[in-house]
């Protein structure tokens, strides 16, 4: 598979000249962005840049989300953002700007090609050429988190059928239009049978529409291990957000260096292009950073914009540069070869515009669109909605009486359940502790109490409200409820461990 196939993405025809929004970002962002814009200006004089401010500087200027409304205006006007990395404060401060941008612009597909450039960039896997298609909006990245008691915090993992269909179909369309042969879906559906189970099921359903492509599923843990030692066995991998995030960093490192890994974030109306790596504060401002990840992201952007001649020129010049042994420190690896700085590397790429690599396969991006967004976003065939029936309720109770005796709690709850409900079980962190729990189970102050309807018509919203009032009157603090539904008679909720 050629590098061209690995890098290309969904082009949209665009007239020249053309302006794009650019955000330098934090840490090494400004220096690698300067380097990349210098190359782009030399390769594609018809491209104009509108700078926008995102990240720490925007935050310090009062934009609490890390970017102001003018940024969204610029991106939606130009359709494209080329973005440097952003420093995300951990454990506090503003939410991830990257996640906010991806979600507010509807950038549902995150494409991360991981290609080996053997022997010019050290890797144990010279034939590696993998594209990871990461779902970009859902999963735990919905960012819905709550603290529910002194001891317990939760994060909601949201997986939706339309979200799965769109990303899985994107992955298959991408594979088909780029001459790829095999798709691997990775989930953890042996544990998360409903959420990851849906992703896997949708993958199987859509795979049937592409009989010419091989399709397989792997559990994410063994899949990641295989990516680390045998990446040549993969072609296109599609995964939910969190797994795709981790897997693509592993794959980028295995291919050679995270400093060279590009990515695109594709939506129906807009797209954002950025390197996979972060703001690297440890080397910021020292002319050490490798601009290649951002430069190859810019190549993806040029292809997306239909500026395929410029994309071909920049990519081939970059290949020739690394072939000529002009490498930044991260690529030169442990002093095996002399290294150049960020600016000198960009200058070397500019010097080689118009040249092709001699050993690596030269790229030649097609001048026509290779994947049709309309085919990805086509509405799913009409489905008959399942018959949904309320059959019970899980009430999460914050109960902190010591010693933590589940039997004592269970007996109190039994007394409060009637007349509409029957207590079926109590769990702590998902493990059944009543009736007949194990003394060894660690119990926190957060108990999931499952009530099921005591009669055919007794499960109603009013009955849930009445139950909550009884719990409150009985001195129990109900911090959250989840209604239990069946869909066409099948439970729409998981069983407890040990149930």
Q: At its nearest, how many Å lie between ligand NAI and the CB of residue 188?
A: 23
Pick between residue 66 and residue 223 the one whose CB is nearest to ligand NAI: 66
66 lies in the site for ligand NAI, by CB under 6 A: no
111 lines the binding site for ligand NAI (CB under 6 A): no
Which one, 293 or 406, has the nearer CB to ligand NAI? 293
Decide: residue 65, CB within 10 A, 0-12 exposed, 13-18 middle, 19+ buried.
Answer: middle
Classify strands 431-434 and 145-147 as parallel, antiparallel or unpaired. unpaired
Which pair of tokens denotes residue 36?
């990349």
Of residues 209, 212, 282, 457, which one binds ligand NAI by CB under 6 A? 282
Q: Which of 66, 79, 259, 410 binds ligand NAI (CB under 6 A)?
A: 259
Piece of 40-48, 142-150, 172-180, 286-294 that binds ligand NAI (CB under 6 A): 286-294
DSSP one-letter string for 308-343: HHHHHHHHHHHHHHHHTT--BHHHHTTTTS--B-HH
Please select the residue that binds ligand NAI; options are 9, 10, 53, 98, rule is CB under 6 A: 98
- Which of these segments, 5-13, 85-93, 122-130, 264-272, binds ligand NAI (CB under 6 A)? 85-93
Listing DSSP states for 70-116 in one string gives HHHHHHHHHSEEEE------SSSSSPPHHHHHHHHTT--EEEEEEE-
If one asks whether residue 53 binds ligand NAI (CB under 6 A), the answer comes out as no
Helices marked H in 270-405 — which ranges? Answer: 292-304, 308-323, 329-332, 342-351, 373-376
Helix (H, G, I), strand (E, B) or coil at 297: helix
Angle between helices 308-323 and 29-43 (to 10 degrees): 120
Listed ranges 176-184, 275-283, 401-409, 421-429: which one lies at the site for ligand NAI (CB under 6 A): 275-283
| 434 belongs to the catalytic site | no
Q: Is 188 a catalytic residue?
A: yes
Residues 322-361 that bind ligand NAI (CB under 6 A): 330
Q: Is 86 an interacting residue with respect to ligand NAI (CB under 6 A)?
A: yes
Task: Based on the shown chain and the rule CB under 6 A, indicate whether residue 241 belongs to the binding site for ligand NAI.
Answer: no
317-355 burial string, b = 16+ CB within 10 Å, else e? bbbbbbbeebbbbbbbeeeeeebbbbeebbbbbbebbeb
Q: Nearest distance from residue 136's CB to ligand NAI, in Å?
A: 12
- Report yes or no: 497 and 431 within 8 Å, Cβ to Cβ: yes
DSSP 399: -
Kindly state whether residue 437 participates in binding ligand NAI, applying the rule CB under 6 A.
Answer: no
Contact with ligand NAI (CB under 6 A): which of 87, 187, 297, 316?
Answer: 87
Q: Estimate to the nearest angstrom the gap between the alpha carbon of 192 and the chain centroid.
A: 18
293 binds ligand NAI (CB under 6 A): yes
Is 245 among the residues known to form the active site? yes
279 counts as binding ligand NAI under rule CB under 6 A? yes
Q: Does 277 bind ligand NAI (CB under 6 A)?
A: yes
Beta-strand pair 262-266/18-23: unpaired
Q: Which of 23, 109, 239, 289 binds ligand NAI (CB under 6 A)?
A: 289
Burial category of 478 from C-beta neighbours within 10 Å (exposed 0-12, middle 13-18, buried 19 and up): middle
Q: Which residues bind ligand NAI (CB under 6 A)?
A: 28, 85-88, 98, 258-259, 274, 277-283, 289-290, 293, 330
Name the residues annotated as catalytic. Answer: 141, 188, 221, 245, 249
């Amino acid at each position: 598979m050629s590098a061209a196939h690995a890098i290309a993405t969904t082009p949209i025809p665009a007239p020249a000249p053309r302006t794009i929004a650019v955000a330098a970002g934090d840490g090494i962002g400004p220096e690698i962005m300067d380097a990349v814009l210098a190359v782009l200006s030399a390769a594609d004089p018809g491209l104009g840049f509108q700078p926008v401010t995102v990240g720490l500087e925007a935050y310090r200027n009062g934009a609490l989300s890390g970017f102001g409304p003018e940024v969204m205006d610029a991106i939606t006007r130009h359709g494209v953002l080329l973005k440097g990395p952003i420093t995300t404060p951990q454990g506090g401060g503003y939410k991830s700007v990257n996640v906010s941008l991806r979600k507010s612009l509807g950038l549902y597909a995150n494409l991360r090609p991981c290609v080996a450039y053997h022997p010019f960039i050290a890797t144990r896997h010279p034939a590696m050429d993998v594209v990871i298609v990461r779902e970009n909006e859902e999963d735990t990245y919905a960012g819905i988190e709550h603290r529910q008691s002194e001891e317990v915090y939760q994060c909601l993992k949201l997986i939706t059928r339309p979200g799965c269909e769109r990303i899985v179909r994107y992955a298959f369309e991408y594979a088909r239009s780029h001459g790829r042969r095999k798709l691997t879906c990775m989930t953890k559906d042996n544990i998360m049978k409903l959420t990851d189970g849906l992703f896997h099921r949708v993958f199987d359903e859509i795979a049937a529409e592409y009989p010419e492509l091989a399709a397989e599923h792997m559990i994410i843990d063994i899949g990641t291990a295989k990516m680390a030692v045998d990446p040549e066995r993969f072609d296109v991998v599609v995964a939910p957000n969190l797994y795709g995030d981790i897997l693509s960093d592993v794959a980028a490192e295995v291919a050679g260096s995270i400093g060279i890994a590009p990515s695109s974030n594709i939506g129906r109306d807009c797209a954002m292009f950025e390197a996979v790596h972060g703001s690297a504060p440890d080397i910021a401002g020292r002319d050490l950073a490798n601009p290649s990840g951002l430069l190859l992201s810019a190549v993806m952007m040029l292809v997306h914009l239909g500026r395929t001649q410029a994309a071909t020129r920049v990519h081939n010049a970059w290949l020739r540069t690394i072939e000529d042994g002009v490498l930044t420190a991260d690529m030169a690896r442990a002093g095996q070869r002399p290294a150049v700085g960020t600016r000198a590397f960009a200058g070397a790429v500019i010097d080689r515009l118009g040249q092709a690599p001699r050993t690596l396969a030269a790229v030649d991006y097609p001048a026509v669109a290779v994947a049709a967004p309309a085919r990805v976003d086509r509405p799913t065939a009409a489905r008959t909605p399942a018959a949904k029936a309320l059959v019970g309720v899980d009430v999460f109770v914050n109960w902190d009486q010591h010693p933590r005796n589940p039997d004592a709690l269970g007996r109190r709850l039994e007394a409060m359940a009637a007349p509409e409900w029957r207590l079926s079980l109590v769990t702590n962190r998902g493990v059944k502790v009543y009736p007949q729990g194990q003394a060894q189970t660690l119990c926190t102050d957060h108990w999931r109490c499952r009530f099921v309807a005591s009669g055919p018509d007794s499960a109603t919203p009013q009955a849930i409200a009445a139950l909550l009032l009884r719990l409150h009157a009985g001195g129990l603090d109900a911090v959250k409820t989840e209604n239990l539904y069946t869909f066409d008679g099948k439970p729409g909720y998981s069983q407890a461990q040990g149930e």
